[in-house]
């Protein structure tokens, strides 16, 4: 294959033939830079954004759309949330500091990108991974493992650290030289931020913004609790989703209470009420609360007293709590738990 070089400056040589890469775009800085660099090296790029169902960060999706528009590349979106739930339940390579199964997650993403690569007739996959940036998933052995386990092998390219890693498919094909990639490594983002400035790239979520619910302490605590008391396999997609919202309290191995923190959460919790007790306050402003488990009357009363602690009922006066479950309805008159009741803190999950 003839390669026509017109210089060694980024973006100034011609591969002589259109070569195509799939670039995973998360909305973060590193994947944006890796994509831009691949374009600057003369490759055709299709962006790919994967939805895991665990993303956090306002406007991340909008950022990916704006980035694709800015780079002038087509963007594929794919929902991998069903496969991702199986990874979260039982990761082959374990969890990180929270309940984040980063290695398995990266393998799933790379494998999915490999499938899109086949569909698009592309030759390789690009990610924004940086050698040594994350302790669990981006040390050298982990990067090699992701390439191997995803089935991509040398077709998985990390342009930001490419000089420091082994040869990849585009290099072996003679489309690029190793030194045309970068040699970024470690946790600092200084070089990436400088590059973004130099290239006029502003469409990315700030590195400090966080990206994944599974990294957050509150979600991790709730998920561990749910695995312990409900069982990994018993949790439904709705159960995983519900762990995002409200204040969560484990009253006993079989009883859990979830209390809405504002009107938005109250509305969301109301949607999760089938199969659970839904508590509300007909006479005073108060939260919607859900109670899970087969409860005794005493346990239901205790749950109602806990929910009432977050209502506008004050000063230890009794308040009416309406409890509804699958068509059954009853009103309980309870005294709210005092805010300084030490049991509240001991029941709280990730507050
Ligand atoms: S932080 Fe979350 S989204 Fe990112 S690699 Fe880890 S599990 Fe996947």
CA-nearest residue for atom 1, ligand 1, is 212
Structural domain count, the chain: 2
Same domain? For 159 and 195 the reply is yes
User: In Å, how far from its chain's centre is CA 347?
Assistant: 26
Same domain for 288 and 149?
no
Which of 24, 27, 64, 101 for mutating ligand 1's site (highest number of atoms within 8 Å of CB)?
101
The dihedral over CA atoms of 210, 65, 170, 107, expressed in degrees to the nearest 10, equals 40
Q: Are residues 87 and 222 in the same domain?
A: no
In a domain, 192, yes or no: yes
Range of the domain at 311: 216-347
Residues 228 and 81 in one domain: no
Looking at the structure, do residues 34 and 50 belong to the same domain, yes or no? yes
pLDDT of 314 reads: 73
For 213, the 3-state DSSP assignment is helix
Q: Does residue 145 belong to any structural domain of this protein?
A: yes
176 and 38 part of one domain: yes
Angle in degrees, CA 114, 13, 197, rounded to 5: 75
Final residue belonging to a domain, choices 181, 213, 245: 213
Is residue 1 situated within a structural domain?
no
pLDDT at 12: 39
| pLDDT for residue 58 | 60
Report the separation in Å between the CA atom of 109 and the middle of ligand 1, taken as the mean of its atom positions.
Answer: 10
First-to-last alpha carbon distance for the chain, in angstroms, is 60
Same domain for 94 and 196, yes or no, is: yes
Phi-psi label, residue 56: left if phi above 0, alpha if psi -120 to 50, beta otherwise = beta
Ligand 1 atom 5, closest CA: 102
The CATH number of whichever domain residue 33 belongs to comes to: 3.40.50.620
Nearest protein CA to atom 3 of ligand 1, as residue: 212
| Any domain includes 6 | no
One domain for residues 233 and 166: no
From the CA of 230, how far away is ligand 1's center (Å)? 24
Query: CB-based burial of residue 349 (10 Å sphere; 0-12 exposed, 13-18 middle, 19+ buried)?
Result: buried
Which residue among 166, 190, 213 closes a domain?
Answer: 213
Q: How far is the CA of 288 from the centre of ligand 1 (A)?
A: 31
Nearest residue (by CA) to ligand 1, atom 2, is: 212
Domain end, chosen from 163, 181, 213, is at 213
Q: Are residues 186 and 137 in the same domain?
A: yes
Looking at the structure, tell me whether residues 316 and 235 fall in a common domain. yes
Whole-number pLDDT of residue 135: 76
Residues 189 and 134 in one domain: yes
Could you identify the atom of ligand 1 that is nearest to the CA of residue 55?
3
Q: Are residue 234 and residue 201 in the same domain, yes or no?
A: no
Q: Which residues partner with 157 through β-bridges?
A: 126
Residue 6 pLDDT? 32
**Contact call for residues 335 and 238 (beta carbons, < 8 A):** no
Contact 211, 52 (CB under 8 A): no
Strand partners, 24: 48
**Ligand 1 shell residues, CB under 6 Å:** 52, 100-102, 105-106, 137, 211-212, 214-215
8 within domain boundaries: no
Give me the average pLDDT of each 10-residue run along the chain (351 residues): 33 55 95 97 97 80 90 97 97 94 96 97 97 85 96 98 96 95 95 96 74 91 97 95 97 97 97 97 97 96 97 88 95 96 96 76
Kindly give the number of the ligand 1 atom that is closest to the alpha carbon of 109.
8
According to DSSP H, which parts of the chain are helical? 29-40, 60-71, 81-89, 102-120, 140-149, 169-172, 190-199, 217-230, 237-242, 263-271, 297-309, 342-347
pTM of the model: 0.89
Residue 77: C-alpha distances to residues 3, 88, 255 (Å): 33, 21, 39
């Amino acid at each position: 294959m003839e390669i026509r070089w017109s210089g060694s400056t980024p973006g100034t040589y011609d591969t002589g033939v259109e070569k195509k890469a799939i670039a995973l775009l998360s909305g973060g800085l590193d994947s944006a830079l890796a994509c831009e660099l691949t374009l600057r090296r003369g490759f055709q790029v299709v962006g790919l954004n994967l939805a895991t169902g665990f993303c956090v960060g306002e406007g991340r999706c909008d950022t990916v759309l704006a980035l694709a528009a800015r780079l002038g590349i087509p963007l594929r979106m794919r929902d991998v949330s069903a496969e991702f739930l199986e990874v979260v339940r039982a990761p082959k390579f374990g969890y990180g500091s929270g309940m984040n199964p980063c290695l398995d997650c990266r393998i799933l993403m790379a494998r999915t990108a490999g499938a899109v690569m086949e569909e698009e007739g592309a030759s390789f996959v690009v990610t924004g991974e940086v050698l040594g940036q994350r302790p669990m998933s981006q040390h050298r052995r982990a990067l090699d493992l992701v390439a191997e386990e995803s089935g991509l092998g040398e077709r998985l390219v990390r342009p930001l650290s490419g000089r420091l890693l082994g040869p990849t498919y585009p290099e072996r094909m003679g489309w690029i030289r190793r030194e045309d990639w970068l040699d970024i490594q470690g946790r600092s983002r200084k070089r990436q931020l400088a590059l973004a400035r130099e290239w006029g790239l502003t469409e990315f979520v700030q590195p400090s913004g966080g990206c994944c619910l599974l990294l957050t302490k509150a979600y991790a605590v709730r998920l561990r609790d749910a695995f312990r008391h409900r069982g990994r396999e018993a949790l439904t997609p709705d159960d995983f989703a519900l762990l995002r919202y409200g204040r969560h309290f484990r009253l006993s191995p079989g009883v859990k209470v979830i209390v809405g923190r504002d009107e938005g959460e109250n509305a969301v919790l109301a949607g999760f009420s089938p199969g659970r007790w839904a508590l509300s306050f007909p006479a005073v402003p108060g939260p919607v609360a859900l109670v899970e488990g087969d409860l005794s009357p005493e346990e239901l009363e205790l749950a109602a007293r806990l929910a009432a602690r977050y209502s506008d009922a004050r000063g230890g006066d009794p308040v009416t709590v309406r409890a509804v479950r699958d068509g059954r309805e009853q009103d309980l008159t309870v005294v709210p738990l005092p805010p300084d009741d030490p049991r509240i803190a001991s029941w709280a999950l990730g507050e």
